Amino acid sequence: MAFEEQCRRCGRCCVAKVIIAGEVHFTPFFCRHLDLKTQLCTIYDRRHELNPDCLSVEEGILLGVFPADCPYVAAYPHYRPPHEEYTEIRSLFDLLREVDEDRSRPSAGIAGPEPVEGRGGGGGRT
């Protein structure tokens, strides 16, 4: 049976994942190519070409990105699925979003202070 025939269209394989301390965790973010109504990939036939982050089923099994109840991994008794709770991950992404927003503010200084003429630090132009 082909992998496509086993798929239940849950969409969880298309959830972005992060690896923390060697463990795969789901995030609350879906691939932008997943149609959330149909649970189908909008670029399926060209997904590996158009989305280099999209894994083959074989790669996904090796990396542990499919949920425990996925038919793709049913034949693998020692398969380790990703952690599906993302409360802590959501907090991490919220924190990262705040940092990213701070970077866009000129007064935040996260990227380091701007050189000031006459005080050094201007690449030799004082």
What pLDDT shows up at residue 73? Answer: 94
Strands 23-30 and 15-20: antiparallel
Question: 59 - beta bridge partners?
Answer: none
pLDDT value, residue 119: 39
Res 101: pLDDT: 75
Cβ 25 vs Cβ 86: under 8 Å? yes
CB contact burial 5-33 (16+ within 10 A = b; e otherwise): eebeeebbbbbbbbeeeeebbbeeeebeb
Tens-level pLDDT at each residue, the chain (126 residues): 677 789 899 999 999 988 888 889 888 889 999 999 999 999 999 999 999 999 999 999 999 999 999 999 999 999 999 988 766 666 666 767 777 777 766 544 444 334 444 434 444 443
